[in-house]
Structure 1
Amino acid sequence: MGSVSRVHLHADAYLSCITHALSNETEEVMGLCIGEMLEKTSGCEIHVHTVMLLRRMDKRKDRVEISVEQLSNASTRAEELARKSGLPLRIVGWYHSHPHITVWPSHVDVQTQAMYQMMDQTFVGLIFSCFNENKAHLQTFEATCFQSERTSSEWEPPKYQGIEIPMYIERNKSVSEFNLQTLTNLPKI
């Protein structure tokens, strides 16, 4: 299995992520990405078909974490969607917001991503930065996709850095049933 060369985020999943990120200006929000991994000669491509919003578990406004129960529910949901669609869907990554700060992953984000990659080397992280202003005092919204790369040798304590993965927004003909349900369930989160 090669390294992740690019990520394709379906437009309706992107809309769900944006809407979720804009739902809270003071605390980070998070969710899981459900999609498929396609092996290509240039490396593997991740296609994110839908996302699953998660309720915050950590009381610190700048931290997000996934409980075992949430991960299990998301895995079950991915299996249901795989049966319905006939596609090999699974959890392929996670996303979270950065309200009022840069889109680049923090050292905590890079460590969290490294932990996920120990279980699945193709797992990706997405960050949505919102509620920022540019020099013209216009609101900006940025998104990035990343993985962690170890920078220390095997015999040293692990040190990681974030590496950006090219991300492309893919058009949909319509909003999928699950992404529509995700958007309508946002007030419950």
Structure 2
Amino acid sequence: MAVEKVYLESDAYMVCLTHALSTEREEVMGLLIGEIDEQRVSRISAVIMLRRSDKQPDRVEISPEQLSDASTKAERLAQELDRPMRVLGWYHSHPHITVWPSHVDVRTQAMYQMMDEGFIGLILSVFNQDKVSKNNRIQVTCFQSVNHSPEGQPSQYSRIEVPLHIVPSARVGPACLESLVELPNILRLEESEAYEQIRQNKDLDLMTCIHNAAVYTKSLSHIMDVMTGPLIQSLENRLERNKVRINELERRKEEMLEELRT
């Protein structure tokens, strides 16, 4: 195993989870940004959400262009934070199915490891009901691929779990906040691209065109209802908590200054 363990900042985990919960019909995906040390310990502190060009309920793909853009963003973050940030892995969701990677996921992971042996995969299982409690549960796993075939033989890959630790964070980092705020726009662009592709068909009758436009409008309204509105409310609540915290720190500062003067 090329990576001993992974530390995932809680704000980065929140972004991954929010993205995974944005739809229960298709899988979503993104890239993990961070740094890896000499002890082969990965520390993930930022996330890049990727726009899907082809929505599939059981498959996600990352284009070379998306990987290149992510590498550029990682370099920018490295300059801003003065740390050696780079793309460390990928994540995707499993809505309504088990958290364990499929054989396609394992092969995809193996392909990424050919480019970078430290590359890891993260899967979030969402909208998956517990058979006992009947409640929806969220599961997450971190894995790499290993080839069991002897040299010269066709590759036979299997998954190997990588220990994952969620690291508590008192704040949402700028990079994670930027990704979180970008999510509604990513979902909107996906819907717009799908609608524009349908509109290219000039053989559709009037009623079909009206129906497609109505479905598109409904999709945008759904994004506003389940994503944009709650996100704005969450950020406003966090802002209020920060204001309260600032007032408490200011009061404590005055008390300490008063103690010094006496």
Scaled to the shorter chain, the TM-score interval is: over 0.9
- Give the distance between the partners of 2:86 and 2:161, measured in 1 at CA: 22
Indicate whether 1:18 and 2:33 are aligned: no
Who is 1:94 aligned against? 90
Q: Secondary structure at the match of 1:39?
A: coil
Asked if residue 163 in structure 1 is aligned to residue 160 in structure 2, the reply is yes
Partner of 2:231: none
> In the TM superposition, what are the counterparts of 1:172-183 in structure 2 within 5 Å?
172-183=169-180
The structure in which a higher percent of residues are strand is 1
Q: Which position in structure 2 is the counterpart of 1:32?
A: 31
Structure 2 gaps, min length 5: 187-262
Aligned letter for 2:172?
V
2:80 corresponds to: 84
Dislocated runs of 4+, deviation >4 Å = none
Give the C-alpha shift of residue 88 in structure 1.
0.5
Q: Deviations over 1:72-113 (max 9, x none)?
A: 111010000000101100000000000000000000000000
CA distance in 1, matches of 2:121, 2:38: 19
Amino acid at match of 1:82: A
Greater Cα offset, 2-11 or 125-134: 2-11
The CA deviation at 1:173 is 2.6
Distance of 1:111 and 1:138 partners within structure 2: 32
Contact residue 26 and residue 55 of structure 2 kept, 8 A: no
How many angstroms apart in 2 are the aligned matches of 1:84 and 1:5?
27
Q: Secondary structure at the match of 2:38?
A: strand
Count of residue pairs brought into register by the alignment: 185
SS in 1 for 2:7: strand
Q: How does 1:77-156 map to 2 (within 5 A)?
A: 77-134=73-130, 135-156=132-153
Instruction: Report the alpha carbon displacement of residue 68 of structure 1 after superposing the two structures with TM.
Output: 1.6
Structure 1 segments unaligned to the other structure (5+ residues): none
**CA RMSD in angstroms, aligned pairs only:** 1.0
Aligned to 2:194: none
CA contact (8 A) 1:93 1:125 kept: yes
Q: Percent identity?
A: 55
| 1:18-42, Cα deviation, whole Å (9 max, x unpaired) | 00000010100000000000112xx
Q: Please say if residues 37 and 47 of structure 1, whose CA atoms lie closer than 8 Å, have aligned partners that are also in contact.
A: yes
Structure scoring higher RCO (CA < 8 A, sep ≥ 6) equals 1
Give the TM-score of the pair, scaled to structure 2. Answer: 0.69
C-alpha separation between the residues in 2 aligned to 1:13 and 1:39? 22
Q: Compute the TM-score of the two structures, normalised by the length of structure 1.
A: 0.95
- Judge conservation of contact 1:14–1:169 (CA < 8 Å) in 2: yes
Structure number, greater radius of gyration: 2
